[in-house]
Amino acid sequence: MTFPSSPGLVALEQRVRRDLALIDYPAHAWVPPRTGVLDVAIVGGGQGGIATAFGLMREKITNIAVFDRNPDGREGPWVTFARMLTLRTPKHVTGPDLGISSLTPRSWFEATHGADAWAALGKITRQDWQAYLGWYRGVLDLPVQNDTGVVAIEPHPGPDGDLLRLTLDGPGGRRTQLARKVVLATGIDGSGAWHVPDFIRTAVPADRYAHTSADIDFDRLRGRRIGVLGAGASAFDNAATALEAGAASVTLCLRRRDLPRINPYRWMENAGFLGHFAELPDLMRWRFMRRIFDLNQPPPQDTFWRCRRHQNFFLRMGCPWIGARMDGDEIVIDTGVGSGERELRFDQLIVGTGFLIDLTLRPELARFAGDIALWRDRFSPPDAEAHALLGSHPYLGDAFQFQEKHPGASPALRNVHNFTFGATPSMGLSGASISGMRYGISRLVSGLARDLFLDDAGRHLDSLLAYDVPELTSLDPPPA
């Protein structure tokens, strides 16, 4: 993806290259090459995937590739199904830059729009964030292959140790690629799938409902009565977009009797939690996450007001949806609420019910899903602290790697690293999160480098034993 240049951006790109040159130590590659084998394959070219690639390249692990099924410039949610006006993350939060000041969002924004524009900015728009990520990828020359999906990951034993075989679907058809390590940077739904309740899928025609993650033609909603299910930010984003597109009315329903008000993500943004949560014992991690998951995230204030300013927006709390049916051309929702309000009638539904954590729903993990340890396999909470959703998440190792449910059943799992939202109970705020990226990428890259070095320890010893480059080249007196 190319972007219009400017004197400010040209100067910034020169600064980036100088900054990286100044800290380029050690400067040489060190991983022994294997013909036809990547050291690390990264699945997903959004913010987590490209930041991981940069982190690896800084560690001189350069035999890598990033695969993304989307076209160049449409990786991640920002210009596809995200419908907020701005990021929810405060503008001062850094992430993909990995501590390089010239790579921060602020440096890019000021070079593009000016320092005064940054000073006046509330939060970064999602379009600017996508443009920043595209610039970041370009200035760092990251090896991203677009229009290339990973449809399967399987073990591939070989004489040099266990490898992974990826089946890629891209230009020219399907092909395979071997890799020593695989990083799944597939976003918020990367450990499962977006969820639509069965009672909607089975009773309502497919063209009359859409999940908030879908490609919705909002122009079709003009003059229509829209029902939105969900209490999260994406439900409010889609409600606002429908209102702004001219919907006759939008009714947003949630089963809670009040909206969440407290955002635990803001509490989590401290160096102690971000850097060291993953080192806590299981019971303590469970208790932290149980509280965080139960609080949930509220819609940001500006998102709420974006809906509330419309007189044809209706918020119904304590109003669950328990059934659906068609009555002619109308969608009838059964709320289970008292007789006068039990049924609601709409022309179209938007479903903001989030996602399921279920690794069996990921096609690329079909070979491994049954062998992956989940939290419920490794940890039994006190009876009063049970939490089914937490228990469904993968139980990860110290560098985001999957663990075996039964030792010895699938040793290749140690080489698949899950840098998605599903890592949260194990690793804290990290995968699929801007706020946790600075710490999560560092932990992930360090673990990948460690494993690659330890697995090749014999080769490195052989290299040392064969090393014969003299530093003292003369025993004669120095020249006059």
- Whole-angstrom distance, CA of residue 265 vs CA of residue 263: 5
User: In the predicted model, is pLDDT for residue 347 greater than 60?
Assistant: yes
Determine the pLDDT at residue 4: 64
pLDDT-derived band at 1 (thresholds 50, 70, 90) equals: low
* Structural contact between residues 165 and 181, judged by C-beta atoms closer than 8 angstroms: no
Measured in whole angstroms, how far is the alpha carbon of residue 166 from the centre of its chain?
20
User: Do residues 443 and 399 touch, judged by C-beta distance below 8 A?
Assistant: yes
For 121, other C-beta atoms within 10 Å of its C-beta total 16
Q: What is the mean pLDDT of the chain?
A: 95
Q: Which of 21, 91, 97, 110 is nearest to 55 (CA)?
A: 97
- What is the per-residue pLDDT for 297? 86
CATH class of 7-191+357-460: alpha beta
Q: Residue 190 in contact with residue 363, Cβ under 8 Å? A: no
Residue spans in the chain of domains classed CATH 3.50.50.60: 7-191+357-460, 196-261+298-353
Q: What average pLDDT does this structure show over 231-254?
A: 97
Q: Collapsing DSSP states into helix, strand and coil, what is residue 470? A: coil
Q: What number is the average pLDDT over the span 400-414?
A: 95
Q: Which residue has the tokens 């064969």?
A: 466
Residues 6+ apart with CB under 8 A from 96: 47, 50, 51, 54, 103, 133, 136, 437
**Tokens 């990995």 -> residue:** 98
Q: What are the residues whose beta carbons fall under 8 Å from the beta carbon of 435, sequence distance 6 or more?
A: 89, 93, 95, 265, 268, 269, 274, 429
pLDDT grade, residue 348 (50/70/90)?
Answer: very high
Q: What is the pLDDT of residues 64-106, one digit of tens each?
A: 999 999 999 999 999 999 999 999 999 998 989 999 999 999 9
Lowest mean pLDDT among 59-73, 75-89, 328-342, 381-395: 328-342
Q: What's residue 296's pLDDT?
A: 83
321-329 mean pLDDT: 96
CA-based nearest residue to 234, from 195, 183, 273, 191: 195
Residue 160 has what pLDDT? 67
pTM over 0.75: yes
Q: Residue 326 — very low, low, confident or very high, per pLDDT cuts 50/70/90?
A: very high
pLDDT of 366 above 80: yes
Residue 3 has pLDDT above 80, yes or no: no
pLDDT for the residue 6 = 83
Taking the C-alpha atoms of residue 148 and residue 43, their distance in angstroms, rounded to an integer, is 9
Instruction: Give the residues across from 250 on adjacent strands.
Output: 226, 313
pLDDT band at 252 (very low <50, low <70, confident <90, very high): very high
For 249-281, where are the alpha helices, taking DSSP H only?
264-268, 271-276
Question: How confident is the model at residue 338, as a pLDDT?
Answer: 65
Q: What is the pLDDT of residue 2?
A: 54
CATH T-level assignment (fold) for domain 196-261+298-353: FAD/NAD(P)-binding domain (3.50.50)
| Average pLDDT score over residue span 128-156 | 97
Q: Which residue has the tokens 């600075």?
A: 438
- What residue type is 69 in one-letter code? R
pLDDT score, position 340: 59
